[in-house]
Amino acid sequence: MTIVYFIIMLGIIIIIHELGHMLFAKLFNVYVKEFAIGFGPRLWSHRTKETVYSIRAIPLGGFTAMADEMDDHIEDQSEKDDSSLPPDLPKERTFNGVKPWKRIIIMLAGPLFNILLASVVFIAIITVNGGISEAPKPVIASVVDGMPAAQAGMQAGDLIVKVTYSDGSSIKPDTFSDIVQYTELYHDAAIYTVQRGAQTLEFTITPQYDTETTRYMIGVTSGDYTFKSMNFLQAVPAGIGLCWEVTLLTLKALANLFKGIGLDSLSGTIGIYKSTEQAVSYGFMTYLSLIGSLSVNLALMNLLPIPLFDGGRILITIIETIIGHRLSIKTQNILMYGSLVLLFGLLIIVTYKDIVKYFL
């Protein structure tokens, strides 16, 4: 059953993303040849006046094929005929025929729709639950025997006021959730500064990986969460605020990846599948929360300046506007195939890590 939830989750996130691209393309009167969910051979398709809507065999992505884009998605002659352009299509109806700011908006629309989806999901969760659970202060309620925190000398009642990581960065946690989230990112030894009565103490602790929960932890527990009741009008800003918190955390995680921090937490398709399995076991609301979080992740990943991503295409559009002409086909091919090799290599690495983590 997990596979069904997994496919539905990816489908929702991908459809919303591509819907953003398509709606703004059509808003600017750009000819959209195909709106596809998935890659590979078509399983189903339906043609309207201009656009072919299709579902393809591999449900790990999608695309919105617009006129005048490099179309690498056409795989056989029947599809070429189905997605062919009108012979008299004016240039102003092609993607590269519209003004650069319109192209940028079209490309931004996909990630922005994912952020919108996440906000709606979080608002819905808070509304259905009738409120939101607020994390306790970063005060240790208990210390687990034999775990790193206990071995270092931490005690119940210690207030964690600062955590300094191996790269020199540090946080001053507002809630206990901050400790949990950053422990997932930083797996090296960190210096925990705690307030114990009138004393200020420091403990050097290295998180320990727990195979049962598939998470890194130092072995401390928090106090109880408090529940804050909310109506729908209160849930709207709270849900948007939660989306913003997830966005900031994801941005920090991406920044850390470029520093080589948190690579062990990087997951591919297998990791996302396992997260789906775990979320479903906790209940439907946890599953919805995962959809919201992954939607934010997809939005921000797509904004990275990699040519195959929306962010890279936006950067290329800006460069072309500055230099006053389009990049040559050769340059575009080098950029596209170079980024494809980079992403394929990354996919191999994260898949290998997922296999080692979950099966070996």
DSSP secondary structure letters along 226-278: EEEE--HHHHHHHHHHHHHHHHHHHHHHHHHHHTT-SGGG---HHHHHHHHHH
In a domain? residue 211: yes
In a domain? residue 70: no
Asked which of 224, 254, 282 is the last residue of a domain, the reply is 224
In a domain? residue 103: yes
DSSP secondary structure letters along 184-235: HH--S-EEEEEEETTEEEEEEE--EEETTTTEEE-SEE----EEEE--HHHH
- Identify whether residues 143 and 219 lie together within a single domain: yes
Distances in Å between the alpha carbon of 215 and those of 59, 212, 350? Answer: 28, 8, 16
CA–CA separation, 155 vs 151, rounded Å? Answer: 10
Asked which of 181, 199, 224 is the last residue of a domain, the reply is 224
- Per-residue pLDDT tens for 186-228? 788 899 999 999 999 999 999 998 877 778 889 999 888 889 9
| pTM (2 d.p.) | 0.83
Q: Count up the domains in the chain and report the number.
A: 2
In a domain? residue 251: no
- Per-residue pLDDT tens for 37-70? 998 899 999 998 889 999 999 888 899 999 875 4
In a domain? residue 348: yes
Nearest to 149 by CA among 112, 203, 110: 203
- Show the domain range for 118: 2-28+98-127+296-359
- Identify whether residues 118 and 201 lie together within a single domain: no
- Per-residue pLDDT tens for 281-339? 889 999 999 999 999 999 999 999 998 899 999 999 999 999 998 888 899 889 888 88
Confidence of residue 82 (pLDDT cuts 50, 70, 90): low
Amino acid 78: pLDDT:
44
Asked which of 224, 244, 265 is the last residue of a domain, the reply is 224
- Identify whether residues 143 and 220 lie together within a single domain: yes
CA–CA separation, 13 vs 2, rounded Å? Answer: 17
Q: Give me Rg for the CA atoms of the chain.
A: 24
Amino acid 71: pLDDT:
44
In a domain? residue 91: no
Query: CATH code at 160?
Result: 2.30.42.10
144: how many CB neighbours lie within 10 A of its CB? 14
Amino acid 161: pLDDT:
94
